[in-house]
A and B are shown apart, each in its own frame.
Chain A
Amino acid sequence: MTATSLSAAPAPVIEAIGLRKTFGHHEVLKGLDLGLARGEVVALIGPSGSGKSTFIRCLNRMEAPTGGEIRFRQKRVRDGFRDRGEDLGIGTLRRHVGMVFQHFNLFPHKTVLQNVTEGPVIVCKRPRREAEEEAMALLEQVGLAEKHSAYPNHLSGGQKQRVAIARALAMRPEVLLLDEVTSALDPELVGEVLAVIRALAEAGMTMAIVTHEMAFAAEVASRVLFLDQGVIAAEGSPAEVILEPTNPRLQAFVARFKG
């Protein structure tokens, strides 16, 4: 990236600055910097244990960093749940930054529709009727409108994950964080979930995606980060990082997935 394009870049929606995370004596993240511009899709790849999940979970403060900071719309995120002064609370951050998990984590005691309306109604205090209409539109979008009154246990893995995406979207997030959202799925169900994410990327959703699906990462990402041993070991366009890697560890990593 050239100096001119850097200075011309718009301010990032969300950024991590010098992010560190230590579990006990194990330093998992050793000072990471990342800014996501609006509409940007960043893919995070890297070997198991390199800190991808920890990193993405620090972005919505699911994990508390032990050093550095998170900024959302230029505002620092503080440790407490509520805003204070200029600083944003974790609650505010999470209302604007959605997350989708590997194991879906749908609420089993609520129907599909209730799963999707829970956030808007309870957290955002939107009128229930309005939230339900919007939720139905989102379920339509992920192809599950007819399942609105089913309970999660009656859905396939792929359907569950699509509901989980709709649940995150119902908060009208500005950023979506996805942590290996297809890894728990049977191979034949991966495609339907990737299709939903692809559509989101095309619609301009800002996303950070941790994935082992190299072809998918190369296709949807505008930028790819290779995390290795707690640092960003390589960064660039999909072509640079995935298709023609130069870093030897990255070459070895990518080769394993090309099969």
Chain B
Amino acid sequence: MTYTWDFHSVWQYRDLFMWGLWISVVYTVGSIVFGVLIGFLTCSMRLSGWRMLSFIARVYQEIFRTTPLLVQLLWFYYAFPLLVGGNIDNRVAAMLTLSLYVGAFYAEIFRGGIVSIDKGQREAAAAIGMSPWQAMHRIILPQAFKRMLPSFINQSVIQFKNTSLVSVISVADLAYMAAVVNGQTYRPLESYTVMAVLYIAMLLPMTQIADWVEKRLRVSD
């Protein structure tokens, strides 16, 4: 049989797609911002030299890195409110979970970048009288930053894809809107193809940038 594509009916819902795309971008950027803060804090705790702080940070990281994001979303939306007695807004649950999830990975990327810097750098900084803080932000971080950048971009690209899971707790992102359009038009092929194309259109430039950055950094090393 031959299928007759009909994008016309789907086109009528272009505003829904655009709105969904916008929501996906908001959750991606929002969770990246919060994730960077969480990752920075977690990484500081891991490197603080305080056993207890380091242990807490480690436990958090392992929990969020060893459970699927989908499981985390379901848990925060359906289980967490029962635990604390109350309700949680699905959008809050989505943003919270996405941030905690990516923060655990960012923390590891930051930590990996910092510990990969030769200890001679810290010593040379200390030898000219720098405080540990001065050594960190003048000498260690600028070098570590270059090393962590490719993994950071990579993780952020993955994060954009991950936001599609928030649709399972009814956050109206791009994936959710595609399902809505499909419900209205009974055109699954068109609805979901448009969704896929929009994801590609968003992410292709980002993966290109990631590759370009990685190549640039390798040359400058």
Contact = CB atoms under 8 A, between A and B. Distances in A.
Interface of A: 60, 62, 81, 91-92, 94-95, 98-99, 101, 103, 105-109, 118-119, 122-124, 153, 164, 167-168, 171
Listed residue (B127, B130, B146) with the most chain A CB atoms within 10 angstroms of its CB: B127
Interface string B200-221: 0000000000000000000001
B26 interface: no
A107 B221 CA distance: 12
B139 interface: yes
Given A107-B139, A108-B143, A109-B142, A119 B129 contact: yes
Nearest to A61: B126
B126 A62 contact: yes
Interface stretch (B34-42, B72-80, B116-124, B172-180): B116-124
Interface in B107-141: 118, 120-121, 123-132, 134, 138-139
Interface in B24-75: none
A119 B132 CA distance: 14
B134 A94 contact: no
Contacts of A124: 129
B120 A171 contact: no
A106 B127 CA distance: 12
A109 B129 contact: no
Contact of B143 (A91, A109, A118, A119): A109
Given A94-B127, A108-B143, A119-B130, 16 more contacts: A81-B132, A91-B131, A92-B129, A94-B129, A98-B128, A105-B118, A105-B120, A105-B123, A106-B124, A109-B143, A122-B138, A123-B128, A123-B130, A124-B129, A153-B221, A164-B124
Interface in B137-156: 138-139, 142-143, 146
Interface string B154-169: 0000000000000000
A123 to B, nearest CB: 4
B143 A122 contact: no
A171 B127 CA distance: 10
Contacts of A107: 121, 124-125, 139
Contacts of A168: 127-128
Given A107-B139, A118-B138, A101 B131 contact: no
Contacts of B128: 94-95, 98, 118-119, 123, 167-168, 171
Contacts of A122: 130, 134, 138
Contact of A105 (B124, B130, B134): B124
17 contacts: A62-B123, A62-B126, A81-B131, A91-B129, A94-B126, A94-B127, A95-B128, A101-B123, A103-B120, A105-B123, A107-B139, A108-B143, A109-B143, A119-B128, A123-B128, A167-B124, A168-B128
B211 to A, nearest CB: 23
A153 B220 CA distance: 10
A62 B130 contact: no
B129 A105 contact: no
A150 to B, nearest CB: 14
A107 B121 CA distance: 7
Contact of A101 (B124, B129, B132, B142): B124
Contacts of B134: 122-123
A173 B215 CA distance: 41
A103 B142 CA distance: 20
B199 to A, nearest CB: 36
Nearest to A107: B139
A23 B124 CA distance: 22
B140 to A, nearest CB: 10
A62 B139 contact: no
Contacts of B143: 108-109
A109 B217 CA distance: 12
Nearest to B128: A119
A101 B130 contact: no
